Structures are given as C-alpha cells and as structure tokens.
Structure 1
C-alpha cells in the first residue's frame, strides 16, 4: 500500500502541471493523511468523488492505511506533499 501511496503522490506534479484543481487535490490529500479524521467523516467528505460502492471501498482502505501509520510517517508524507507542491511543475499554479 505504501507503494501505491508513493505513486499517487509522485503523480501530483503532473496533475498540477495540467492546471486542474491543485487546491482541491491538496484538500483531499490533507483529509486523507489527517489522523484526526475518522473513516466515516472521511467518506462523508469524499462523497462527490465516489461514483460507486467499489470506489468507496477503495477510499475506505486507503484511509484505514493512513490511520494505521505513526504520526512520524504521516509527517513525512506531509513533507513530501509540500516538496511536490513547491516543485518546479506546481510552482506556476
């Protein structure tokens, strides 16, 4: 699951480069890695991105993965996210 997370976060500059909703994506990532947001609250916040039951199950698994991580790991993910957003590709947006 860590590999999937790393791959998703490395794709962020491309998403930002396309100029499509970096703020929205930033909010989604922050809610996902926030250990104070439980699964139910997370799913309620993500309803607009859940076209079906399978996607909802995937979001639940992703959130549970982050909830099982230490605070130190979550802080490192936050640092990586900030490095990506301040990268050359996202700097213009």
Structure 2
C-alpha cells in the first residue's frame, strides 16, 4: 500500500514540474513582448502589468509600441470594468 502512495506522489511531482516549465516558458514570451510594447510608455510598471495580463490571456501581443491591435483581436477586445480597453 505504501508503494502505491509513493508512486502516486512521484507521478504528481513529475506532472507538476512539467506544468511549471510550460508556465515559465509562456511568461518569458510575454515578458519579452511586453518589454518591447511598453518601452516608450510613460508609466512602464502599469503598462507591463496590464500587458502581461493580456498576453497571458490571449497568447499574443501586437507589434510595435502603440497601435497594431488588429494583429491580436483578443488583445484588442479585452475591456476593463469601465468598458474601456484593458490592454496597452
């Protein structure tokens, strides 16, 4: 019985570590894309925060530092609680 539990714990650890690697790879993509997108922003920390949220949800960030939101419809269509665009 102990062997079954040990195998289950080992399997859980292997699966959780692989999920961690996938999430870290995604955040590296978003970090690099958002740093370009927010490079000319007046309030960079706010821009990076919201760009990161939008990138995680949409898996894309428009090119350039402003505009080009047609390249990523999900990014363009995310709204804040006031109905305005959420993504920089």
Question: TM-score range with shorter-chain normalisation?
Answer: under 0.3
Which structure ranks higher in relative contact order (CA pairs < 8 Å, sequence separation ≥ 6)? Answer: 1
Structure 2 length as normaliser, TM-score?
Answer: 0.25
Larger C-alpha radius of gyration, 1 or 2?
A: 2
Report which of the two has the higher share of helix: 1
